[in-house]
Amino acid sequence: MVDIVEIYVHWYAGRSKSQVSASLRADRKTVRKYLAPAEAAGITPGGPPMSEAGWAKLLKSWFPELAGRRPNQVREEIEPHRDHVKGLLETTTVTTIHQRLRDKAS
């Protein structure tokens, strides 16, 4: 499952919905679903910098049913791969690294 915050990060950085979908291996309908409230609020890609924590806060207000998710779960799963991940962190987000490791294990 794709980290929903990652959808916002990629989109806000200027990727199209199709690019976000392909990059994160998420269904385009899912990407549209989660981006709809941001677009309705007038948020457009390339605006003032927004942290992942900022997106997570907005996400919880738009989708309160997601509030029970454990934010550190991804980090716990990466821990056994610490040395490999350390090098990747210079250019890649934690969520993307998690997805790549999961895909590699499959």
Return the pLDDT at 72: 53
Per-residue model confidence (pLDDT) at position 20: 92
pLDDT (tens digit per residue) in 17-52: 999 999 888 899 999 999 999 999 999 999 888 888
Question: Considering only CA atoms, which of 37, 80, 90 is closest in space to residue 7?
Answer: 37
pLDDT at 1: 44
Q: Identify the pLDDT of residue 91.
A: 85
Q: What is the pLDDT of residues 53-99, one digit of tens each?
A: 888 889 889 988 876 655 555 566 667 777 877 888 888 887 787 77
Count Cα atoms within 13 angstroms, Cβ side, for 79. 6
Sign of torsion over alpha carbons 35, 36, 37, 39: positive
Give the pLDDT score at 106.
65
The answer to whether 66 and 59 have CB atoms below 8 angstroms apart is: yes
Instruction: Tell me the angle at which helices 28-40 and 17-24 cross, rounded to the nearest 10 degrees.
Output: 130
Token pair recorded at residue 77: 């799963």
> What is the predicted pLDDT for the residue at 66?
76
Q: What was the pLDDT predicted at 75?
A: 62
Instruction: Give pLDDT, residue 103.
Output: 80
